[in-house]
Structure 1
Amino acid sequence: MTRCRLCGSAALESVVDLGATPPCESFLAAGQLDEPEPAYPLHLRVCTDCWLAQIPPLITPEDTFKEYAYFSSFSTSWVEHARTFVDDAVERVGLGPDAFVVEVASNDGYLLKHVVDRGIRCLGIEPSVNVGAAARDAGVPTLTEFLSPETGAAVRAEHGPADLVVANNVYAHIPDVVGFTQGLRALVADDGHVSIEVQHLLTLIEDNQYDTIYHEHFQYYTVASAIRALASGGLALVDVELLPTHGGSIRLLARPAEVAGEPSQRVADVLAREKAAGLQELSGYTEFSARVAKVRRDLLRFLIGAAERGETVVGYGAPGKGNTLLNHCGIRPDLLAYTVDRNPYKHGRFTPGTRIPILAPERIAADKPDYVLVLPWNLRTELVEQLSFVHEWGGRLVFPIPELSIVEDAS
């Protein structure tokens, strides 16, 4: 990478180098275990002109999203988050019976099904064939396509402008951030709203959330860099909310620049917090690599100690972020016998790179391991309750991030 993908600057500085890993959602079938597996460098840099953190676009969205292993509806808390968002958006944006809502990267319809239930016209734009089909089966109108300025214009011409465009957890997933933003502007009505949720670089840095760095995430936003990105497509930020989702996210509410007006006080407050954390100067990034190394050492020390004591450790979840962690730490089945996942699509497959078997969740209760390493640590509250049965035989839950923590009892 020699140029910033947002502003074109050559002033890119290293934040953390995680080596080379396979794409995090490229789960292996049993028949692929004797085949070569490509791995790509995973090196986060920050542009010191516009402060967009980014990795090189070594894979394309087409490589990842034509057939995708992630189905949003398998997370109970995420579905509830979507329902609450729709309820609030109806009031905040004033969505009446004649409104039109478009969600970009709509996955399996986890959010738009709440819009459908309200009788509001909507459309999902989802590039993954398999999850888009699941959305249509659930009664959510879905177009199988990537968003571009041309796609946005075509949808607008066929369906009319959208009163609300939603783009949750996709703004990091596209290397052409300018073209994607122009696509959002093409979709939204001239007096409409765009709501974007994306992980906040501030919490990623502060809480050692380095496993959320993977090849699908091409860039990592502060509010300051998001303002620059939105402006590239003719949108202006009017409000921001700090959310606990994915370990700490920002919800950006934007409007066409011509009607946006002055941003809220919350925008100024978050910008001030980012500046205080040093994220608009290089000093805010310099210690991150050393803290990432400590997470790795602590987790390996725990796993090796458990193995030497003859204790069993299995995993819970097979999220994309878990594969960054497993590969960076060099964890293999001798240290983590298997992991389980609620998504049956992953059962019988193996984690990329580390080749750890993925089984059904019922296997944990059958085997009664000493420890369960929780890979989707961002769902801690939900999973501590959901996995409370592990304590019945004296088992314990382990969370690797932001620092190694062992839950002795669920109560």
Structure 2
Amino acid sequence: MHCRVCESDRLLSVLDLGATPPCELFLEADALDEAEQTFPLHLRLCENCLLLQIPALITPVETFTEYAYFSSFSDSWVEHARTFVSGAVEKLDLGPESFVVEVASNDGYLLRHVVDAGIPCLGIEPSVNVGAAAVERGVPTLTAFLDEATALEVRRQHGPANLVVANNVYAHVPDLLGFTKGLRALLADDGWLSIEVHHALNLVALAQFDTIYHEHFQYYTVAAAATALATAGLTLVDVELVETHGGSIRLWARPEAAATDPHPRVAEVLALEAAAGLHDVAGYVGLQDRVERLRHDLLRFLLDCRAAGKRVVGYGAPGKGNTLLNYCGIRPDLVEYLVDRNPYKHGKFTPGTRLPVHQVDRLDKDRPDVIVVLPWNLEAEITAQLAYTAEWDAQLVYPMPQLHVVDQAKVEK
């Protein structure tokens, strides 16, 4: 294995989660007696450029041609996108003569707001099924993986983009250098690139191990992201800390010729990373021990529930949840089943752990004692959605960033 940015072979092991199946390959009922292929989930740090990464053992084609994740099932994520679009339109003075491209546009959760604003746009989405949902919403969508050739063809047909958005995709590309060149090829010479990606500061400081899965090939500090962007002539000019996905960064970059001096926020976030030790190899030592403690805490809690005869189920079946379930070795004896709002997952079973996934109304029918919420990063949204479970005194348990039980009596209605 060599670093995806600098080609160094000096890669240090910082977290080994064992071998698991790909997190979005949910099983049909008739496949439960078949073998599943598993792959190591082993996080390493490039000692040269300090990019966190895992081996590219599965391809994007295997993961994203048919995909189980639909962004619009999270109300807070759709609202987050709406707020971003509103701000970007004002910040960049976008209008009917502008052109916006989103890479990995999913089901149109973001570009639907661009369409509503009357701004020409295009989504580039490799997953046929979720891209079709975007088209049904009136969002123009090209079914393709982004590389430099695809970007040049989009530019030839539509012209250069004033704004390119790449939310939660910069971690998903094994050919990081080629993808970054594709982003630059889409952009006008005076255009803007906005990237949102989970912040490695939170991953390391809070031991957010469930953000690691096979389709996430790399994990960024601002320093590492700036290095990657520079390989395609893109300069980081601003950064924002955002709360999504347990703590993310929104990176603003421009082609070198159009770049101005970076906003003071860039230096501020770099200082936070340096203070956490993440600009040095030593800052990553100890992550394995902290993750193991989180696993032990959760297993002790579930074993105590089992001993007390409590009925335990899970809410949500996100990719991150499957990392947690597999690493912790959680099976139906500890968590009976999951429920999820996404009908694509209903009637299927989680990869590896084989927990059945049901509709959310199953909660009201069974009235379980304990509900373990796997998309813990949406705590406020999901706690509000599950407020009705207080009728039977259900415990809402969030396993991360530290295991805690929500006292629903104290939640503002």
TM range (shorter): over 0.9
SS of the residue 1:133 aligns to: helix
Counterparts in 2 of 1:154-303, with a 5 A limit?
A: 154-303=153-302
For 1:30, the equivalent position in structure 2 comes to: 29
Distance 2:34 2:5 in 1: 37
What RMSD in Å do the two structures reach over aligned CA positions?
0.7
**What is the CA deviation profile of residues 324-373 of structure 1, one whole-angstrom value per residue up to 9, with x for unaligned ones?**
00000000011100000000000000000000000000001111111000
SS of the residue 2:166 aligns to: strand
**What is the CA deviation profile of residues 269-295 of structure 1, one whole-angstrom value per residue up to 9, with x for unaligned ones?**
111110110001122111111110011
SS of the residue 1:378 aligns to: helix
SS of the residue 2:266 aligns to: helix
Distance 2:293 2:47 in 1: 26
For 1:332, the equivalent position in structure 2 comes to: 331
**What is the CA deviation profile of residues 280-324 of structure 1, one whole-angstrom value per residue up to 9, with x for unaligned ones?**
112211111111001100111111111111101100000000000
Conserved? CA contact 2:198–2:219, under 8 Å: yes
For 2:71, the equivalent position in structure 1 comes to: 72
Whichever residue aligns with residue 174 of structure 1, its letter is V
**What is the CA deviation profile of residues 205-248 of structure 1, one whole-angstrom value per residue up to 9, with x for unaligned ones?**
11221100000100000000000000011111000000000000
Counting matched residue pairs gives 410
Distance 2:102 2:91 in 1: 17
TM-score (norm. length: structure 2): 0.99
- Moved >3 Å (runs of 4+): none
Q: Structure 1 residue 407: deviation in Å?
A: 1.3
Distance 1:408 1:258 in 2: 54
SS of the residue 2:97 aligns to: coil
SS of the residue 2:257 aligns to: coil
Distance 1:287 1:297 in 2: 16
Distance 2:300 2:175 in 1: 40
Distance 1:264 1:401 in 2: 32
Conserved? CA contact 2:50–2:281, under 8 Å: no
Counterparts in 2 of 1:7-18, with a 5 A limit?
A: 7-18=6-17
TM-score (norm. length: structure 1): 0.99
Whichever residue aligns with residue 178 of structure 1, its letter is L
Distance 1:94 1:239 in 2: 17
Worse-superposed segment, 201-210 or 142-151 = 201-210
Q: Structure 1 residue 388: deviation in Å?
A: 1.1
SS of the residue 1:15 aligns to: strand
SS of the residue 2:258 aligns to: coil
Alignment pair present for 1:386 and 2:385 = yes
For 2:316, the equivalent position in structure 1 comes to: 317
Q: Structure 1 residue 261: deviation in Å?
A: 2.0
For 2:119, the equivalent position in structure 1 comes to: 120
Structure 1 stretches lacking a partner, 5+ long: none
SS of the residue 1:258 aligns to: helix
Distance 1:64 1:232 in 2: 26
For 2:57, the equivalent position in structure 1 comes to: 58
Q: Structure 1 residue 408: deviation in Å?
A: 2.6
Distance 1:377 1:283 in 2: 29
SS of the residue 2:251 aligns to: strand
Whichever residue aligns with residue 35 of structure 1, its letter is E
Whichever residue aligns with residue 218 of structure 1, its letter is F
Whichever residue aligns with residue 127 of structure 2, its letter is S
For 2:97, the equivalent position in structure 1 comes to: 98
For 1:361, the equivalent position in structure 2 comes to: 360
Whichever residue aligns with residue 26 of structure 1, its letter is L
